[in-house]
């Protein structure tokens, strides 16, 4: 029997209330796609793995470091969250990842610019960068067509 596809997914995208505000980013179209391909889900939240509380102040990346909105440098926590998420990929042998766009941990194409003004720039979150360095493919929930193509490839 063919092995089930295993995908690492940001927990907030599946409806877990782990984001900084205490809410979630449930993306029903993503859930439907994962069900269609009978995917084995590995849920992660790098910021939770790092021991950051829920709710917590929003944080953004500026000049390679992460700051919470009160100006505290929380780069170490984000590095820790990235490392622990990678350990989960390794342990669970996930095929690829789908992480929340624009997050300072999970963003894969865009992040906020560090000014806490809502401005978005090109860039990656700390966890995505770590996974990419380890040759793990990371998609965002905004690329469902690409994700489906990749799932089709893996299902062959
Ligand atoms: Fe979602 Fe990632 Fe932020 Fe956790 S760290 S709340 S999984 S975007």
Q: For the segment 68-78, what is each residue's pLDDT rounded down to a tens digit? A: 999 999 999 99
Which of 8, 10, 74 should be mutated for ligand 1, with most atoms under 8 A from CB?
10
Q: For the segment 17-37, what is each residue's pLDDT rounded down to a tens digit? A: 999 999 999 999 999 999 999
Q: How far is the centre of ligand 1, averaged over its atoms, from the C-alpha of 20 (Å)?
A: 8
First to last CA, the chain: 12
Q: How far is the centre of ligand 1, averaged over its atoms, from the C-alpha of 10 (Å)?
A: 6
Q: What is the dihedral of CA 48, 54, 60, 65, to 10 degrees?
A: -50
Helix (H/G/I), strand (E/B), else coil: 70: coil
- CA-CA distance, 14 to 12, in Å (whole number)? 5
Task: Find, among 30, 4, 46, 1, the residue nearest to 154 by Cα.
Answer: 4
106 pocket-lining for ligand 1 (C-beta < 6 Å): yes
The structural domains of the chain, with segments of one domain joined by +, span: 6-151
Two tokens at 34?
A: 């994962």
Q: For the segment 5-16, what is each residue's pLDDT rounded down to a tens digit? A: 999 999 999 999
């Amino acid at each position: 029997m063919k092995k089930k596809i295993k995908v690492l997914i940001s927990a907030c995208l599946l409806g877990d209330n782990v984001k900084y505000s205490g809410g979630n980013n449930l993306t029903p179209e993503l859930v439907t796609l994962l069900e269609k391909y009978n995917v084995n889900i590995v849920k992660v939240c790098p910021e939770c793995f790092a021991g950051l509380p829920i709710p917590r102040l929003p944080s953004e990346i500026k000049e390679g470091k992460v700051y919470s909105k009160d100006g505290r440098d929380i780069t170490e926590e984000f590095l820790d969250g990235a490392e622990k998420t990678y350990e989960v990929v390794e342990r669970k042998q996930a095929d690829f990842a789908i992480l929340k766009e624009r997050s300072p941990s999970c963003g894969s194409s865009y992040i906020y610019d560090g000014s806490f003004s809502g401005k978005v720039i090109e860039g990656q979150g700390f966890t995505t960068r770590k996974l990419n360095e380890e040759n793990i493919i990371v998609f965002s929930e905004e690329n469902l067509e690409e994700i489906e193509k990749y799932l089709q490839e893996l299902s062959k």
